[in-house]
């Protein structure tokens, strides 16, 4: 069985989205696309001016957005009539399919906001499907805990802890790992998958080959293989995310990701003429 090694280490760029929410973007810039992953943002600040504008109503088509709230509270509302509040530790997994218009606004006027949004591509056969949600409450999340580590399972399975996202076309793995200093995290990933680690805090080493230092807010693209080993050089927190490539051509147009430019133009037209939400 082949060991998984570091393929590339990437520092995110500073960016903003929505109504000026400050964030660190990695996937979506470099790499532009890591099939099936389209975008990864880390948003976080103690300064309310960096997030108070939130994400006013905006459309999506053809993608899945996975929002993981580490700290803070957001109000969600969308064109299906769904409303809800995301609190610290909650996850919202939204399959936008044929189209949805939603807003995500901070339900807080001070304090720390910190979280992640991951975009996952949808295959052509599912891009025009009915929008669907999976909500994962923090207190219902499946967690593995031992003396060395704690693993919150959003998707996939670690030991007896299993996430609620099942029967998914990309077979996703999404773990939030907290690893104690000088301890190891070992996991077997499917060799078919594209995988990455996003280090949130601390310092880690991956695999057996020597690589540059990896410390705080860093994207690490991994080689394909099966055996993943992560060693913590200090107490560390990181995401392990993996998915099976879709292997289809993509066309991007802001919040729309389809297979052809014509489909993007149709999405824009649908949005402007009021037929976007099916």
pLDDT of residue 1: 67
pLDDT of residue 61: 96
Residue 19 reports pLDDT greater than 80: no
Determine the Cα–Cα distance for residues 188 and 118; give it in Å rounded to an integer.
22
Determine the Cα–Cα distance for residues 223 and 88; give it in Å rounded to an integer.
32
Q: Which of 203, 16, 240, 33 is nearest to 120 (CA)?
A: 33
Give per-residue burial for 39-70: e unless 16+ CB within 10 Å, then b: bbbbbbbeeeebbbbbbeeebbbbbbbbbbbb
Q: What is the mean pLDDT of residues 96-113?
A: 90
User: Measured on CA atoms in the order 256, 262, 266, 269, is the torsion positive or negative?
Assistant: positive
Determine the Cα–Cα distance for residues 170 and 36; give it in Å rounded to an integer.
8
pTM given for the model: 0.95
pLDDT in tens, 215-271: 999 999 999 999 999 999 999 999 999 999 999 999 999 999 999 999 999 999 999
Assign domain 6-273 to a CATH class.
mainly beta
Number of other residues whose CB lies within 10 A of the CB of residue 127 = 22
Lowest mean pLDDT among 37-41, 42-46, 207-211: 42-46
**Domains of the chain by residue range:** 6-273
- Give percent above pLDDT 70 in the chain: 100
Q: Which of 35, 14, 8, 36 is nearest to 26 (CA)?
A: 14
């Amino acid at each position: 069985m082949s060991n998984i090694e570091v393929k590339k280490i990437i520092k995110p760029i500073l960016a903003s989205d929505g109504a000026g929410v400050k964030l660190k973007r990695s996937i979506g810039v470099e790499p532009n696309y890591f099939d099936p992953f389209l975008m990864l943002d880390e948003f976080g600040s103690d300064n309310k001016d960096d997030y108070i504008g939130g994400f006013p109503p905006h459309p999506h088509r053809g993608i899945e957005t996975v929002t993981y709230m580490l700290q803070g509270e957001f109000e969600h509302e969308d064109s299906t009539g769904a409303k809800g509040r995301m609190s610290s530790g909650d996850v919202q997994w939204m399959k936008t399919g044929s189209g949805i218009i939603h807003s995500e606004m901070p339900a807080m006027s001070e304090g720390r906001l910190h979280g992640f949004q991951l975009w996952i591509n949808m295959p052509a056969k599912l891009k025009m499907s009915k929008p669907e949600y999976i909500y994962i409450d923090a207190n219902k999340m499946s967690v593995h805990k031992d003396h060395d580590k704690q693993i919150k399972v959003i998707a996939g399975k670690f030991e007896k802890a299993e996430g609620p996202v099942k029967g998914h076309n990309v077979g996703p793995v999404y773990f939030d790992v907290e690893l104690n200093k000088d301890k190891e995290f070992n996991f077997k990933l499917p060799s078919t998958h594209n995988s990455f680690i996003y280090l949130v805090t601390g310092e880690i080493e991956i695999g057996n080959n020597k690589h540059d230092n990896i410390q705080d807010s860093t994207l690490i693209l991994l080689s394909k293989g099966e055996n993943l080993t992560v060693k913590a050089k200090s107490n560390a927190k990181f995401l392990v995310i993996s998915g099976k490539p879709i292997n289809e051509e993509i066309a991007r147009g802001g919040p729309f990701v389809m297979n052809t430019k014509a489909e993007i133009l149709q999405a824009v037209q649908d949005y402007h003429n009021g037929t976007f939400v099916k």
